[in-house]
Amino acid sequence: MEMVGIKKVKGGKLIKVRVEEEGGIIKEVKISGDFFVHPEDAIEDIEKSLKGVHLSKVREALRDFAMRKTVRTVGFALDDIADVIEGRSDGI
């Protein structure tokens, strides 16, 4: 099943997350919006870190990712991605 969610975070930045899941497991994920991530390819690493993760473990997976990789987000936090996937947004 495909789910799409959007969240406007403090400061007006927009995050959009498209998740393809099967049986509660993330098969594909695409994160987009009007934010910045450094290094630039880190968003792809974040997406890869979520593949194979159960929807109930997204926040934990993102925290694990943050402990392993040095990533600077501008305009949002990794928890905002978890909020979108968990349905705490403007619609997923």
Angle, CA 12 vertex, CA 6 and CA 17 arms, to 5°: 20
Give residue-wise pLDDT tens across range 30-88.
999 998 999 989 999 999 999 999 999 999 999 999 999 999 998 899 999 999 999 87
- pTM for this structure? 0.89
The answer to whether residue 90 is domain-embedded is no
Q: Are 75 and 9 in contact, with CB atoms under 8 Å apart?
A: yes
User: Can you say whether residue 55 is alpha, beta or left, with left for phi > 0 and alpha for psi between -120 and 50 degrees?
Assistant: alpha
What is the total count of domains within the chain?
1
Q: What's the domain range around 52?
A: 2-85
Residue 69 lies inside a defined structural domain of this protein? yes
Residue 75 is predicted with a pLDDT of: 86
Q: How many CA atoms lie within 13 A of 42 on its CB side?
A: 17
C-alpha torsion 76→81→82→86, nearest 10:
120
Q: Is residue 15 part of a domain?
A: yes
**For position 72, which CATH number holds?**
3.30.390.50
